[in-house]
Amino acid sequence: MSSPVIIAALAAGLAGFSPPAINVPSAVVRAAGDCSAAAAQVVAETGGELLSAQPTSDGQCVITVLIPGNGGRPKKVTVKVPM
């Protein structure tokens, strides 16, 4: 058997009434630092392809790049640099 509350909510939704606004904090959190400049520097220095760039709690960035090989497999290199 259906609940009267569910039926009322469904009817209100079908009638075009919008639900009340709920203030929910944003799920996006801005990090204290940005690794984009450090990643660009490592990619430029190595000539590799960026795989990942992650900030650490000690104010550094862990940058991982793939460096093309001489006809073989590329080499994966991880570098820790300051932000």
Q: Determine the residue type at 68.
A: P
State pTM to two decimals: 0.58
Q: How many structural domains does the chain have?
A: 1
pLDDT tens digits, one per residue of 21-48 = 666 555 444 444 688 889 999 999 999 9
State which residues form the domain around 54: 4-82
8 Å CB contact between 49 and 66: yes
Q: What's the rounded mean pLDDT across residues 55-73?
A: 89
pLDDT at residue 23 in the model: 64
pLDDT score for 15: 66
pLDDT grade, residue 18 (50/70/90)? Answer: low
Q: Over the chain, what is the mean pLDDT?
A: 78
